[in-house]
Structures are given as structure tokens and as C-alpha cells.
Amino acid sequence: MPIRTLPHAVPSLPGKLPPWRLRERLRFLLLSLGVGAVAGAGAVAFRALIGLSQTVAFGSGVETLVSVAMDVPAWRMVLAPMAGGLLVGVMIHWLIPGRRPTGVADVIAATTEGGGGIGLRTAVAGAAVNGLSLGVGASLGREGPVVHLGAGLGAWLSHRFALSGWQQQRLMGSGVAAAVAASFDAPVAAVVFAMEIVTRSHRMGDFLSLAPAAAVGALLGKHLYGNGPIFPVPTPDVPMMLEYPLFALLGVLSAGMALLLIGSFLLWQGLFRRLGAAARIPSWAMPAAGGAVLGIMGLAVPEILGVGYEATENALLGAYPLGFLVLLLAAKLMAVGISAGSGFGGGVFSPALYVGAMAGGAVALAVPALGGPAVASYGLYVLAGMGAVAGAVLGAPISTLVIIFELTASYQASLPVLLAVATALAGVRLALGHSLFTLQLLLRGIDVSALPDETARPHP
């Protein structure tokens, strides 16, 4: 068969970008790199703030807070979160619009309104409140604060360069991707999360805007914190075919844990509001009351304090017996609710990983204890539980799947984790119809579930 050759003069391809559009895209690429550097540095500074606050509160800024808390005197264990809570309450009262901690729900609301709503002052003040909260032992996570900080820095830069509404939204997404990548060393998951939650679009233009920022943020994080995974996991064995129904069952259990975690957020907020009204306690004093309760709980179960990565890693490594896993699960659900309900700032992703790890480990140990066969790999159940609870709470299953793999460097767990995440997400959608973030917004009168997945806006 003869080979066809192209003519010497190739006609211009349809859809080829004009020079002015190419210049515009180059300009936006440079802005994306710039916001990546700024937001990545902001995430690093936020992490340093947590360490500084923890040093003042407990005498050491290392991230293994459980080990530190073992040597802290009882009076300091109670006084540190109580005094820190008082300072948090005063800062929220005077510095934060709306007089409540900031987080991912505020970013979704801002991007829904076309990119506005988060000023630089609010972003920085919110980061200060959240960093102090986590440093004094609030049982929350650092991903929500860095998402808000990254979005705020992106919004600030977009205003400085007088960008249009959809461009502001993209630059906010770039800031989120960079901050998450720098904080967790998970650049791919950071891009997917920003597309799922912030831009709510999977168009190529969004990816080309977010990826450079995430790469810059990840490089900053790697330079300061190293290249290893946050959670080192022994290489898991391949599960037996008969175990896959157990992963689906774990997904059902994880859906219940996710609903309990979401309910804990909302229930304790209502309880603290009613307590404040009945006892005439001003709202700025409520975090101090919550901090005192957390400190007392920390005397018995220090594993519930702070971000909780040390306890999560211990669960992954099989360091806890079945009874203790159940105790930590129940205590963490209560501690998260008290922290968020009393007014401390922080995110929900790390607590969701914690709860999922304990639930997954409990299932892996309970099956043989109840007369069933020994599971092929304990760590697979912990990973599946982490992904299932986190994906269902956040309502971002794809980015959750990716970040589990990036945090653990364990891609062998892909099928069990996928099965558990899908089952858990389906359960929460059937029972509630919302993630924690969209439910928080709905309670504020903002229904983002009615919006299309891809916002109707022009794209370059």
C-alpha cells in the first residue's frame, strides 16, 4: 500500500490560538507559578506556626505530639489547651469576619460567588487562629486551614493583577493546589482536589493552571521536609478473593463513621451554643471551656490531641490492640466534636484519616477474633478505612484516593481502597445527600449542590 504524504504547504489548523490568546496563557502560567511560590511558602509558614504554638504549649514542637504529651505535667496538659482556647476565642472575636474559624466551606462559597469573598487579612488571620488551635492540641487537621490560606493568597494576587472573575477562581484554585502540595507532599492529589472542590471543573485549562502551582508548592515542601511518605507502610500482601466482600463491609462501616464524624461537628456546635446561652458565657470564652475538656481527655488518652498523625501511623503499623483501637475511635469522634463545636479552628481531613485508620484496623483484627480467617494484610484494611471515611466526609473521592496513595506510597492497595471508598461515599450520599462542606454551606443558606459541576464561564 502506498504511503500518503502531506502536501508541502500545511493549511492552518482549525482552532489554532491567536497570538494574543497565547500571550494571555503565558501570563497566566507565570501568575500560576507565582501563586505557587507564595501559597507554598504560606503553607510552610503555617506548619511552622503550629510547631511554635505547640512548643509554647507543651514544650516541644515535634509532630509526634503523643510522645511529647506523655511527659507533660497534668496541670500543663489541662492549662495549655484552655489558655490557648481563650486566646483563640479572642482572636476570632476581633479578627475574623463572622466570628467563626475559616475553612474549606468558605473557599467553596467564595468561588461560587466568582472568586471573591476572601481577603488577605482574613486569610492571614484565619491561618493564625487555626495554627494556634492545632498547636495547643485541638483535635482537628491542617488541610482545611491551608486550603483557605492558599485560596486567600490566590485571591489577593488576582486582585493585584486585576483579573476577571473566572480568572480569580482559577488563581484561587492554583493557590489551593500549591498549599496542599507543599503541606502534604501530594501534588497530584492537590490538583485533583482543587478541581473537585474549588474550580468544580475538569477542563484542560484548569489543569494547566493548577499543575504548575502544585509543582512549585511540592518542591518547596520536599526541600524542607524530605521526599519520604508521611505514613510509611509495609508493602501489603495481595488480599484473597474472599476478602473483597470484607472491604465492601468496611465501606459500609466507614459510611457510618463518616456520618458520626459529620454529626459530631454539628451536634457539638449546637450543644456549645445552648450551653453558652444558658450559662451566659460569651462566645469568645467557649474555646477555653472546650480546651479544658480536651486537656482532661488528653490526660487519659493523649492520642486524641492535635493533628493525630502519630496515632494514625501507629495504627497502620499494627501497634494497637483491638480494644484500644475502638477506644481511640470513640474518643477521637468526641474530641473532634468538642474542638470544632467550642470554636477551635482546623480541618476535617486528618481526623477522617484517623477515624478511618482505627475503624479499618478494628475490622482486620475483629474478623479472626470472631472466628473468621486471618486477613492477608492488616495494613490494607487500615488504608481502605482511611480512604473510605475521608472520601465520604469530604465528598471528594478521586482526590482522596490519590492522596492516600501519595501519603503512603502504597499503590498495591488500589482495588481494596477503591471498593471501600465507593461503598462509603454511596452510603453517605444515600443517608445524607451532602458532604460536610456542602452541609455547612446549606446551613448558612448556600446550596452549592444545585450548581452544575462545570461552572458556566468563558475559558481561555
331 within 8 A of 221, measured Cβ to Cβ: no
Q: Mean pLDDT of all residues in the chain? A: 86
Could you tell me the CA-to-CA distances from 80 to 73, 113, 185, 293 in Å, in that order? 11, 39, 30, 11
How far apart (Å, rounded) are the C-alpha atoms in residues 190 and 210? 9
pLDDT of 163: 79
How far apart (Å, rounded) are the C-alpha atoms in residues 352 and 261? 8
Helical spans, DSSP H, in 161-243:
165-184, 187-193, 204-225
Q: Which residues, 6+ apart, have CB-to-CB distance to 329 below 8 Å?
A: 257, 355, 358, 359, 362
How far apart (Å, rounded) are the C-alpha atoms in residues 329 and 360? 10
148 within 8 A of 120, measured Cβ to Cβ: no
Highest mean pLDDT among 273-277, 282-286, 334-338: 334-338
pLDDT of 458: 45
pLDDT of 441: 87
pLDDT confidence bin for 456, thresholds 50/70/90: very low
Highest mean pLDDT among 6-15, 36-45, 111-120, 408-417: 36-45
Residue 388, C-alpha cell as written in the block: 473510605
How far apart (Å, rounded) are the C-alpha atoms in residues 23 and 151? 25
Q: How do the residues of the chain divide into helix, strand and coil, expressed in percent and rounded to 5?
A: 75, 0, 25
Higher-pLDDT residue of 17 and 104 is 104
pLDDT of 233: 72
Phi-psi map region of 456: left, alpha, beta (phi>0 left; psi -120 to 50 alpha): beta
